[in-house]
Amino acid sequence: MAGAQTRATRNADGWCVRGTKVWTSNAHRSQYMIALVRSPGTADDRQRGLSQFIVDLATPGIRIQPIRGLTGDACFNEVMLDDVQLPADALVGQEGGGWAQVNAALAYERSGPERLLSSIVLVDEWLAWLRSDAAPAPEAISALGAIAAQLVVLRRLSLAVTAEFDLQLFTRRLLAWRMQYGSETFWAARRGKALLANDRLAWDFVRSVGA
C-alpha cells in the first residue's frame, strides 16, 4: 500500500484523481469505494503523503474491470480512474494522514473475525448435514465443538470492540458536558456509565484518577 501511485491533485472543484487501483473487492457490485491514493509527494515517499478518499463509482472517468480467478469467480477488480473529479469533501480525515488511518482500520479488519465470519455459511450447511446424519462421526462432532468455541470467543471479542467504540464516543460527549456543566457532573455520569455497563476497566480508570 505504501507504494501507491494513483494520485489526487487538488483543484478549484475539489480533487482530480488519476491512476489505477488493483484488487478492489466487489467494486463491480458497489456504489462507493474508499481509495488510498497519493496527494502530495511522490511514490518514493512511501507512507508520507497518502490520503483516503470516498469515491462514487458512478462518477465519469471510472472503469471497473473484474479480475477472474481460475474458478471463474470475480471477487476482485481493477478500478481505473481517468481524471476523475471528486468534491472537496470526498477527503476522509486529514490530507496526508491516510497511512495512519488505514492502519487503524486494518487493526480491526484483519484481526481475525472476518476470516471466520466469511465462511459461516459453510458452517451452517455442514451443521444441517450433520443433523441429518443419524450417527455423525465423533471427529466431526469434535470439530463442530471447536468451531462453536471459537464463535463464542469471537462474539465476546466483537462485543468488546463495540463497547470500546461506544465508550470512546460517550467519553467525548462527557468531555463536552464537563466544559459546560463542570467536573462533578462529568465524573458522576462517568461513574454511572461504568457501573451500568459493568465495565471493570472503565471503573478502575475512574477510581485511578480519584473521581
pLDDT higher at 189 or 118: 118
User: Which residue type does 142 have?
Assistant: S
Is there a contact between 170 and 191 (Cβ–Cβ < 8 Å)?
no
Digit-coded pLDDT (tens) for 60-96: 999 999 998 888 888 899 999 999 999 999 999 989 8
Say what the pLDDT of residue 127 is: 85
Rounded-to-integer distance, Cα 2 and Cα 38, Å: 9
Is there a contact between 148 and 123 (Cβ–Cβ < 8 Å)?
no
Angle between helices 183-196 and 138-181 (to 10 degrees): 160
HEC string for 107-164: HHHCCCHHHHHCCHHHHHHHHHHHHHCCCCCHHHHHHHHHHHHHHHHHHHHHHHHHHH
Mean pLDDT along residues 115-141: 82
131: Cβ contacts below 8 Å, ≥ 6 apart: none
Mean pLDDT of the chain: 78
Digit-coded pLDDT (tens) for 129-185: 888 888 888 888 888 888 777 777 777 776 776 666 666 666 666 566 556 555 555
| pTM of the complete model | 0.55
Say what the pLDDT of residue 82 is: 96
Q: Is a pLDDT exceeding 90 seen at residue 121?
A: no
User: Which of the residues are catalytic?
Assistant: 109
Which of the 8 DSSP states describes residue 80? E
